Chain A
C-alpha cells in the first residue's frame, strides 16, 4: 500500500480547500431577487406618490385656513369659528377619504394578482 508523503498530504489539503462545495444558489435566484427588488421599488414609489399628495393636501388646507383667518379679521365673518364648531367633521372626513383611497388600491391590487396567478389563489 502506498504511504502519502508530507507534500502529498499538503497538496490534497490545499486542493480540498480550494474546491467549491457542490451546493449553490438556485437557478431562479436572480429572477426571484429582481422580482423582490421591483416590489420594493414599487412600494417606495407608491409611498412617495401618496406622501407627496398628503403633503400638498396639508399645505393647501393650511393656506386655506390662514386665508380664512385673514378674511375673518378683515370682514368679521366668523368662518373659522364655524369651522371650529364642526372640527370633528373635518378631522374624521379627511383621514376617512385617504383610508377609502388606500382600501380601493389594495382591492384593485388583489384582483389583478388573481388574474395573473389564478392557480395560486385557489
Chain B
C-alpha cells in the first residue's frame, strides 16, 4: 500500500527508490491523461517523463491541501495541454460548445477494423472530441474522479464539467446506437 505521508519526506531527502514507488503508483493516471489529450503514444511517453520530473522538482510545494493524485493529475493536464498548444494539434480547443455539430470521420479502410470492436469504436470517437470533453470523460469514467477533483485538475466549474459529461455521453450514445443498428442490418 502506497503511503504518501511516509514516502514524500523520503523523496524530498533525495531517495530515488521512494520516487520509484510514487511513479509506479501514478504512472497509469498520468499516462491516461497525457495519452487522451495528445492521442499519440510516443508523445505521451515523453510528456509523462516531463510530468514526473516536474513532480519531483515541485514536490516540496505540495502542502497536502488536495489528494496527491489530484495534484499530479493537474500537473499532467497542464503539461499535456501546453504540448497541444505548442503543436496546435487540437483545432477544437477554443470551441468546445460546437460539439453537437461535429461530424466524426471514420471512412478510411484502416478504420474499418475499429468499427468491429465497440470499445475501440468508442475510444476512437473520443479521440475526435474536443480535449475538454476527452479529459472530463477520462477522469470521471476511467479514473473515477469526483466532480470536485475534476474541477481541481481542469479548473472548469462543476456545472461545466457536468454539462460536458452529459453532452459527451449523449453524443457518443447516439453514435453507438447508429453503429449498433448498422451492425444488425
Residues of B within 8 A of A40 (CB): 53
The verdict on A82 contacting chain B, using a C-beta distance below 8 Å, is no
A3 and B119 contact, CB distance less than 8 A: no
The verdict on A21 contacting chain B, using a C-beta distance below 8 Å, is yes
Could you tell me the dominant secondary structure of chain B's interface residues? helix
The verdict on B137 contacting chain A, using a C-beta distance below 8 Å, is yes
Tell me the nearest residue of chain B to A15, going by C-beta. Answer: B119
The verdict on A64 contacting chain B, using a C-beta distance below 8 Å, is no
The verdict on A88 contacting chain B, using a C-beta distance below 8 Å, is no
**Binding-face segment, A28-36, A69-77, A91-99:** A28-36
A17 and B49 contact, CB distance less than 8 A: no
Could you tell me the dominant secondary structure of chain A's interface residues? helix
B142 and A36 contact, CB distance less than 8 A: no
How many B residues face the partner with a CB closer than 8 A? 36
A21 and B173 contact, CB distance less than 8 A: no
Tell me the nearest residue of chain A to B34, going by C-beta. Answer: A25
A29 → chain B closest CB, angstroms: 7
How many A residues face the partner with a CB closer than 8 A? 30
The verdict on B141 contacting chain A, using a C-beta distance below 8 Å, is yes
Q: A12-42: contact bitstring with B at CB < 8 Å (1 yes, 0 no)?
A: 1111111111011110011011101110110
B184 and A25 contact, CB distance less than 8 A: no
A12 and B23 contact, CB distance less than 8 A: no
A1 and B184 contact, CB distance less than 8 A: yes
**Binding-face segment, B14-22, B76-84, B101-109:** B14-22
Given A4-B180, A18-B141, A33-B23, check contact A13 B49 (CB 8 Å): no
The verdict on A101 contacting chain B, using a C-beta distance below 8 Å, is no
A2 → chain B closest CB, angstroms: 7
- Complex Cα distance A41/B15, Å? 11
The verdict on B164 contacting chain A, using a C-beta distance below 8 Å, is no
- Complex Cα distance A3/B180, Å? 8
> What residues make up the interface of A, taking CB atoms closer than 8 Å to B?
1-4, 9-10, 12-21, 23-26, 29-30, 32-34, 36-38, 40-41
CB<8 Å pairs between A and B, sample of 13: A4-B177, A4-B180, A12-B118, A16-B123, A16-B176, A17-B142, A17-B172, A20-B32, A20-B142, A29-B48, A30-B27, A34-B19, A41-B14
